Chain A
Amino acid sequence: MAILRMIIGRIALAGLTLLLVSLIVFSMLEVLPGDVASRILGRDATPETLALLRTELGLNDPAVLRYLHWIGGLLTGDPGKSLVSQRPVTDILGPRIFNTLMLSAYAFVLYLPLTLIPALVQAIRRDRATDHVLSVITLVLLSLPDFLLATILLMVFVIYLPVLPAISLVDASSGFWEYLRAMTLPALTLAIVMAVYAVRMLRDNLIEVLDSDYVRMAELKGLPARRVLLRHALPNALVPTLNVTALNLAYLVGGVVVVEKVFSYPGFGSLLVDSLQLRDLPVIEATVMIAALVYILANLVADVAAILLNPRLTGG
């Protein structure tokens, strides 16, 4: 019961955070000094077009009313129409989100082995040459900005070793293999960025657990080395890594913005950049809210999983 109450509490907090995000986003984009209409129209604005747009957007209403209207629309699944194409925002977002989900799933499949294998190798060979070399490699990769890593991968696999396409354009007519080929480079970029972050932490967790009293106890009980590692050390080291994976999922939401742009992949991230350039407010707002939602959900899932996995809380 206490656990159920705890989980419900987390969900309520997540909802509250999301509500606050909507307030922040709305006030940044629509309430802050500076007229929205002139920001949308940019330097080419004339008084007539400005006045027209203001009426169209309902800008003459008070901000509170506009916020309530907007949030009501979001909650009922109607984020409005694009200012540029006049199509409903849901129609624009749908295929983009699908593409990004495919990309993320692919990146995640690559991420797991890229994390587990180096971390286990480093922990077993700790403080030896293998460990040091892998540490240096992860540190350098960790320091590379994602757009630079993407550009380098592009150079390697497109120019010097031309096996993959430079531009990952796909649409509804693309076949599965076409999709896969197009997604490989962006997915690999994202997977590497996520993995280097997790490897270092999993290595440290593993070593900490390997040094713990209960692993020493398991060894002194006469258990074989493999059982000590896989039964006593790894499960306990993975629990904190769960949190890292949630952070990585959250990174993905921001990471796709740059990586999709580099490879011109038609996903949700490149949509955000494009609509920012076009100042397409309804699309921007919907996209940002989805990004925050994913971040909050990822953390919520990690929190709840940590509660459920902790025998101290579940009591068995």
Chain B
Amino acid sequence: MAGGQGRAGVIWRQMPLSFRIGAVILALHLVVAVTGPFWAPYGYSQMGAGRPLSGISWQNLMGVDQLGRDVFSRVVHGSHIVILMSLSGTLLGLLVGATVGLFSGYVGGWVDVVIQRLTEALISIPFLVLALIAISAAGVEAAGNPVLVVLVVALVYAPRIARMARATAIDIATRDHVTVARLRGESAWSVMWRELLPNASGVLLVEFALRAGYAPVLIGSLGFLGFGLRPPSPEWGLMISENRAMLIVSPVLVLGPGLMLASLVVGLNLFTEGLARVLGRTVRLGTR
């Protein structure tokens, strides 16, 4: 046991600094997300937690909003919502995007042309605009539903991940070990499963981490514009939007959710950058 810990320690120390800092930040966020609902001082919609807009105090670490709700408790309750929606949306986007992209890149021909045109068309609608029209297309009944937000994140990410996976598949497919498999007469699925996927996994992992890093921003933007979750949900973007109305009176109210959102994304970005370095890849952080 001690030996195992020792080895883990050695590996940990060999990781890039950005990876280690990112991992610590992420771990803290995960702890808050999992345990937060049990120790948060107030409920997320519990009013009367303090005098509305009374500022920071020991009772209310991040202030009290205009409805008298404790911002700190709301932020803590929001944590698992944001993280769960981000991860599941990105994962869904990865599954769809990677399968479509790898297949289209390896098979080529007219299948590839059609898929590639469709993904290009989806990508050319700015991602926030695509998310907004998708939500309004879903209609009034679905508005504010977390499942809708998750599906929208996947819709926005899948074509972008597919483009990346396709380029990777084309690159790997020209390598000699794939040619060897083709010369043996192996089926397209067997080649994808044995030769492409294991070699694309590094790229896909980094792509997943990168996209997961921006999912909270996308979800926050939707909430901020009033197209995401509905009040009284403690989703951070929505909170920033609500508390922004009181910016002149109590500017501190936007800092709580803002700090949580920013630190989560910083953590994910650092983690992604470090991960990419470990896997010997380059990554372009950013939403484009």
Q: Are B265 and A147 in contact (CB under 8 A)?
A: no
**In the complex, what residue of chain A is closest to B254 when comparing beta carbons?**
A151
Chain B interface extent, by class: 35 or more
Q: Are A142 and B129 in contact (CB under 8 A)?
A: no
**In the complex, what residue of chain B is closest to A19 when comparing beta carbons?**
B121
Per-residue CB proximity of A247-260 to B under 8 Å, as 1/0? 11011011001100
In the complex, B101 has a CB within 8 A of chain A:
no
Within 8 A of A (CB), among B253-279: 254, 258, 261-262, 265-266, 268-270, 273
Q: Are B248 and A159 in contact (CB under 8 A)?
A: yes
Q: Are A152 and B125 in contact (CB under 8 A)?
A: no
- Can you list 16 residue pairs at the A/B interface with Cβ under 8 Å? A39-B140, A42-B140, A142-B269, A151-B240, A151-B247, A151-B254, A159-B248, A201-B284, A251-B288, A253-B129, A254-B126, A254-B127, A273-B132, A273-B225, A276-B227, A288-B129
A251 neighbours in B (Cβ, 8 Å):
126, 287-288
Contact of B129 among A147, A151, A247, A272 (CB under 8 A): A272
Given known pairs A20-B117, A257-B132, the reply for A32 and B137 (CB within 8 Å) is yes
Dominant secondary structure of chain A at its interface with chain B = helix
Q: Are A258 and B128 in contact (CB under 8 A)?
A: yes
Contact of B220 among A147, A154, A253, A299 (CB under 8 A): A147
Q: Are B226 and A143 in contact (CB under 8 A)?
A: no
Q: Are A279 and B269 in contact (CB under 8 A)?
A: no
Given A24-B122, A272-B132, 12 further pairs, Cβ under 8 A: A24-B121, A29-B133, A39-B136, A142-B285, A143-B213, A144-B265, A148-B262, A155-B247, A248-B288, A250-B126, A276-B136, A284-B136
In the bound complex, how far is the Cα of B285 from the Cα of A17, in angstroms?
26
Within 8 A of A (CB), among B118-155: 118, 120-122, 124-129, 132-134, 136-140
Within 8 A of B (CB), among A251-279: 251, 253-254, 257-258, 261-262, 272-273, 276-277, 279
Q: Are A139 and B269 in contact (CB under 8 A)?
A: yes
A250 neighbours in B (Cβ, 8 Å):
126, 288
Q: Are A159 and B118 in contact (CB under 8 A)?
A: no
Q: Are A292 and B225 in contact (CB under 8 A)?
A: no
B287 neighbours in A (Cβ, 8 Å):
197, 251
Q: Are A197 and B129 in contact (CB under 8 A)?
A: no
Within 8 A of A (CB), among B177-216: 213
Q: Are B261 and A145 in contact (CB under 8 A)?
A: yes
B218 nearest CB across to chain A (Å): 9
In the complex, B105 has a CB within 8 A of chain A:
no
In the complex, B76 has a CB within 8 A of chain A:
no
Interface residues of B, Cβ cutoff 8 Å to A: 117-118, 120-122, 124-129, 132-134, 136-140, 213, 217, 220-221, 224-227, 237, 240-241, 244, 247-248, 251, 254, 258, 261-262, 265-266, 268-270, 273, 282, 284-288
A292 neighbours in B (Cβ, 8 Å):
124-126
A279 neighbours in B (Cβ, 8 Å):
136
Query: Which 9 residue pairs spanning A and B have beta carbons closest together?
Result: A254-B126, A20-B121, A143-B265, A247-B288, A197-B286, A145-B217, A143-B266, A254-B128, A28-B137
Interface residues of A, Cβ cutoff 8 Å to B: 16-18, 20-21, 23-25, 28-29, 32, 34, 39, 42-43, 139-140, 142-148, 151-152, 154-155, 159, 166, 196-197, 200-201, 204, 244, 247-248, 250-251, 253-254, 257-258, 261-262, 272-273, 276-277, 279, 284, 288, 291-292, 295-296, 299
A197 neighbours in B (Cβ, 8 Å):
285-288
